[in-house]
Structure 1
């Protein structure tokens, strides 16, 4: 797994871009590649881990997992 930060993500369109640590090329990030239950979204600057897949129009981030304090946690406490 690689790590990086979300460059930007548009909730209405369901996609954005991630900048991998140590790389210059942006990686396409689609909401369907975000791991977890519930509403799948990312925020600019949010740290993430992911894998890279070569798509027809460039590199895609897949198996995206939000990291750190910005990660949304689902609990049954209420």
Structure 2
């Protein structure tokens, strides 16, 4: 389980990005990978899964 902060999330388009804590890495997140509703600046926990264009955040929950 990874920790991070929601950098950007667009409810209408259903995607955004999460910045991983303790690194400069950002991960794509799609609404299908959410366990909870999220907003920008929410602290979250997440798993990583290989997607079509790299690693995606999945099983995203508010911390």
Same fold per superposition (TM over 0.5): yes
Indicate whether 1:42 and 2:42 are aligned: no
1:1-78 residue pairs with structure 2 within 5 A?
Answer: 1-36=1-36, 41-67=37-63
- In structure 1, stretches of 5+ residues that fail to align are 68-78
Structure 1 ranges of 4+ moved more than 3 A: none
Q: Partner of 2:22: helix, strand, or coil?
A: coil
* More contact order relative to length (CA 8 Å, sep ≥ 6): 2
- In structure 2, stretches of 5+ residues that fail to align are none
Q: How many residues align?
A: 63
Q: CA deviation at 1:5?
A: 0.3
* Structure with larger Rg: 1
Kindly indicate which of the two structures has a greater share of residues assigned to strand: 2
Q: CA RMSD in A?
A: 1.1
Query: What TM-score, normalized by structure 2, do the two folds share?
Result: 0.90
